[in-house]
Amino acid sequence: MNKANDVFMNTYHRLPVVFTRGEGVRLFDASGKSYLDFSSGIAVNCLGHNNPALVDAIKKQAEKLIHVCNYYQSDVSEAFAEKLIAVSGLKKLFLCNSGAEANEGAIKIARKYSFKKYGKNRHRIVTLTGSFHGRTISTLSATGQDKFHENFGPFTEGFVYIPPNDAAALEKALNDISVCAFFFEPIQGESGVIPLSADYLKKAAEICAQKDILLIADEIQCGLGRTGEFFACNRFNLTPDIATLAKGLCGGVPAGAVLAGEKTADVLEYDHGSTFGGNALAAAAGLVVLETITANGFMDEIKEKGAFFADKLDDLELDGFDISRIRGAGLMLGADVSHEDHGLLEKALEKGLLFLGGGPKTLRFLPPYTITREEIIEGISILSEILPKTA
Ligand SMILES: Cc1ncc(COP(=O)(O)O)c(C=O)c1O
């Protein structure tokens, strides 16, 4: 059990459990104990564990071709790219390996677009306080949370932070002629499931269009069908200039993507790349994810199951448990508890339920899309055993 601490650097506080296999929404530890997984590896295992179609595609692709470098072409990588473009409604994409790498790509594209049109002074990127965009030096710089900015500087320059859902602050920040992009998570994940409002995003899109400022949506946690729409932005009929995806994109095989619309599709000119990006194995897995989530009625089911889940959380609140302010959309839900540390993740683990924290007091739920209503009820019942009562 303690082996992990001997070999891994101190990056994660790992809970005392060793998983050896998974099946659907359940994970199993070395002793065979079963856990309901309402975290999906932080929104990665979107089709659940050991999904037959996904496993079959990965097996078959591994027997044919795992990787060719990007100096050549691969049939499956092209098929994946074509499908992703068709589903997203954007024009071209760059494939990579992680969320941070996708966001790095988006930042480079935004700056180059603006430099070429308006000169090198137009480099600033407005982001939001409470955002999380990754762990590289530039994506940490884009991340509007002080706690991530200790000890690793100097950071990439040119990021400006404003509070989310504050239209006046947004208008003021975008009035600066050195701003080239507004970069945001439509629903902030890491800081506690904080959705941006429809009005706020519409305002942002309006100003950005007027000033030729690029609208960059970090859809890494909230996109890919999680809200019941392909992009969380699509809930408000909004199409960003650039969108980034990762996490569930290839169902657990590491992958990321930068998707660009008309304005920025051809900004890169053989000046960016990634060895593993769009690798045949990841692409084969990604095709299964895209085919599954675009099947008739699949995303509607996500919306309906999400509403069912939110209602059940709401019932807990009415029953006097210490849980309130239920937020989110589809199967990305958060609810606050009143104290910072109840040890709830550990208590839930003991009872066989996994979920995530977010911000100081938020319980964050990101279950696989394949979750059933019975599994939601089962998880909520475990929650009711561990949540303190309010009175
Ligand atoms: C919204 C968002 N952006 C970017 C990232 C970084 O992704 P990765 O860890 O794959 O680099 C994350 C990861 O949690 C995220 O939630």
Given 183, 184, 231, 247, the catalytic residue:
247
Domain 53-293 belongs to what topology? Aspartate Aminotransferase; domain 2 (3.40.640)
Q: For ligand 1, what atom is nearest to the CA of residue 131?
A: 1
Q: How far is the CA of 389 from the centre of ligand 1 (A)?
A: 34
Q: For ligand 1, what atom is nearest to the CA of residue 189?
A: 16
Q: Which protein residue has the closest C-alpha to ligand 1 atom 3?
A: 133
The superfamily (CATH) of domain 3-51+297-386 is Aspartate Aminotransferase, domain 1 (3.90.1150.10)
Q: Which amino acid is at 6?
A: D
CA dist., res. 319 & res. 390, Å (int): 9
CA dist., res. 184 & res. 223, Å (int): 12
Confidence at residue 2, expressed as pLDDT on a 0 to 100 scale: 67
Provide the whole-model pTM: 0.98
Q: How far is the CA of 212 from the centre of ligand 1 (A)?
A: 26
| Mutation probe of ligand 1 site: the residue of 247, 356, 362, 364 with most atoms within 8 A of C-beta | 247
Which of 171, 190, 187 is closest to 179 using CA atoms?
171
| Mutation probe of ligand 1 site: the residue of 96, 220, 224, 276 with most atoms within 8 A of C-beta | 220
Which of 272, 242, 283 is closest to 259 using CA atoms?
242
Answer yes or no: 218 catalytic: yes
Answer yes or no: 166 catalytic: no
Phi, psi of 225 (to 5 degrees): 90, -5
Locate 32 and state its tokens.
């065979």
Q: Which amino acid is at 62?
A: A
Q: How far is the CA of 195 from the centre of ligand 1 (A)?
A: 16
Which of 339, 347, 382 is closest to 16 using CA atoms?
347
The SS3 assignment for 207 reads helix
**Rama region for 117: left / alpha / beta (φ>0; ψ in -120 to 50; rest):** alpha
Q: How far is the CA of 334 from the centre of ligand 1 (A)?
A: 17
Element (H, E) at 105: helix 99-118
How confident is the model over 229-269, as pLDDT tens digits?
A: 999 999 999 999 999 999 999 999 999 999 999 999 999 99
* Domain limits, CATH 3.90.1150.10, in the chain: 3-51+297-386
Given 218, 230, 321, 365, the catalytic residue:
218
CB-neighbour burial class of residue 385 (10 A; exposed 0-12, middle 13-18, buried 19+): exposed
Q: For ligand 1, what atom is nearest to the CA of residue 135?
A: 11
**Rama region for 176: left / alpha / beta (φ>0; ψ in -120 to 50; rest):** beta
Q: How far is the CA of 27 from the centre of ligand 1 (A)?
A: 23
CA dist., res. 386 & res. 378, Å (int): 13
Q: For ligand 1, what atom is nearest to the CA of residue 136?
A: 11
| Mutation probe of ligand 1 site: the residue of 40, 42, 45, 133 with most atoms within 8 A of C-beta | 133
First-residue to last-residue Cα distance in the chain: 38
Q: How far is the CA of 143 from the centre of ligand 1 (A)?
A: 10
**Rama region for 214: left / alpha / beta (φ>0; ψ in -120 to 50; rest):** beta
Confidence at residue 1, expressed as pLDDT on a 0 to 100 scale: 59
Q: Which protein residue has the closest C-alpha to ligand 1 atom 7?
A: 99
* Domain limits, CATH 3.40.640.10, in the chain: 53-293
> CB under 8 Å to 232, separation ≥6 — which residues?
186, 187, 217, 219, 222, 223, 226, 329, 332
CB-neighbour burial class of residue 226 (10 A; exposed 0-12, middle 13-18, buried 19+): buried
Answer yes or no: 247 catalytic: yes
CA dist., res. 248 & res. 47, Å (int): 8
Q: Which protein residue has the closest C-alpha to ligand 1 atom 9?
A: 99
Q: How far is the CA of 63 from the centre of ligand 1 (A)?
A: 30
Q: What are the residue ranges in the chain where pLDDT is below 50?
A: none
Confidence at residue 98, expressed as pLDDT on a 0 to 100 scale: 98
Given 38, 80, 94, 132, the catalytic residue:
132
Q: Which residues line ligand 1 (CB under 6 A)?
A: 42, 98-100, 103, 132-134, 185, 189-190, 218, 220-221, 246
Which of 128, 135, 129, 126 is closest to 158 using CA atoms?
126
Q: How far is the CA of 301 from the centre of ligand 1 (A)?
A: 25
Q: Would strands 214-218 and 26-29 be described as parallel, antiparallel, or unpaired? A: unpaired
What strands lie across the sheet with 332-336, from one edge to the other? 324-329, 332-336, 362-365, 356-358
Q: Would strands 92-96 and 256-260 be described as parallel, antiparallel, or unpaired? A: antiparallel
